[in-house]
Structure 1
Amino acid sequence: MTIITYALILGISTSIDYFLILFLLFSQAKKPGERRTIYFGQLLASFILILLSSILSQVANIFLADWILGLLGFVPILLGVRILFENEAETEIPDSKIGLLSVIFISLASGVDNLGIFTPYFTTLSTLETLLTAGLILLETVAICYLAEKFGSLHSISEFIEKYEKMILPTIFIILGIYILFEFGTMTYLLQLLT
């Protein structure tokens, strides 16, 4: 298979898990500019993950334990808890509900497992091949965002999400955070520190 084929497979397989989160974010995007914020935040997070993976793959003496990466799991948990305990008056404030930093942190937390996929693969590539792969993954990120935006803008789906968003979004964020904490052994490591 060619580098392009591998890059396409890599991009699709690592972006599918973002789809539901992006779908939920797009279904909530009501204010001008929020959709652009989601696109930009997702692209920036993907770029950061690709850059980190590239650096880690090039610098063999840098080692990050999995449990450290898993600490990013606390980000969606805290966001979910915050949303759960916001009262309705707080959610109706005129400021943008979907902020760039929130999108970036959610995307980084949900994509931290991609470091474990990208890094070993990037070690097998030349600099040019890594750049080509990164570019294709970023293009695929835009495509995933576009699909999630189109599904999120369907009126019936958007109404359902709006009706139950107070429960759906925090639940997904909390579950995602817990999954990340366990997937990377962070909970096990932290519990071992306490005993």
Structure 2
Amino acid sequence: MEWLIGTVALAITIFTATNIDDILVLTIFFAQVDSKFRPRHIVIGQYLGFTALILASLPAYFGALIIDRKLIGLLGILPIAIGIKHLLPKEEKLTVQTHPHGGKKKSLWLAPQTYHVAVVTFANGGDNIGVYVPLFASSNAATLSVTIATFLVMIAIWCYAAFQFSSHPAITKFLEKYGDAIVPFVLIALGIYILYESQTYQLFPFFSFK
């Protein structure tokens, strides 16, 4: 039971750290809802885009089945590097199309608006893959399943939160102001955790203790 609680807690932490900026994008989307751009387009698009991110990261898990766990742990350097990158000054941020309305083509579930949200979600998740790859690679079947399930639940929570935030600009401004200051340290801590959990530090002589 302890491993389950620990896995869920870690998954929630990682999801939150890698999707702070995404909730801002979702909030912008929900603020644009009208007769042509509906909440279902945003929710389904978010799930499609995030599923693509998960699928892009899954090969790392299967690779871990044939590659030494300590070597896989070296992937922990990725979130550390991403965290450091977040600490560096940013020249520009992702911009979101103001009116993601499609043309005349209509579909109940896969309208052009849905694909637009999915594409933005995937494009905005480049760093997510860099974090999920080492996480999945250092997981076993049970922890991977729980992690993905937790991610999928968190997407629903994220969408609901963004929907609520869309009517409270002050909350959005707070996240935008302080979110970037927290995320880098969470990612760096995650990388260190992966290096330690995979015992990768044993590959380096100066960390070997006899």
TM-score of the superposed pair, with normalisation by structure 1: 0.56
Structure 1 residue 144: deviation in Å? 1.4
Residue matched to 1:41: 49
- Residue number among 9, 15, 27 corresponding to 2:11 in the alignment: 15
Distance 1:174 1:49, change over 3 A: farther
Give aligned-pair identity as a percent: 10
Distance 1:147 1:169, change over 3 A: same
How many matched pairs? 162
Q: Does 1:99 align with 2:100?
A: no
**In 2: Cα distance, 1:15 partner to 1:26 partner:** 20
1:30-62 CA-partner distances (Å, limit 9, x unpaired): 354333332223333334444314423531184
Structure 1 residue 163: deviation in Å? 4.7
Instruction: Give the letter for the 1:144 counterpart.
Output: M
Report the 3-state secondary structure (helix = DSSP H, G, I; strand = E; otherwise coil) of the residue aligned with 1:58. coil
Distance 1:75 1:66, change over 3 A: same
1:52-95 CA-partner distances (Å, limit 9, x unpaired): 14423531184536434422336756896523xx8xxx766445
Distance 1:92 1:173, change over 3 A: same
Residue matched to 1:56: 64
1:124-163 map, 5 Å:
130=141, 134-154=144-164, 157-160=165-168, 162-163=169-170
Q: Which runs of 5+ in 1 are unaligned?
A: 123-129, 186-195
Larger Rg: 2
Distance 1:168 1:177, change over 3 A: same
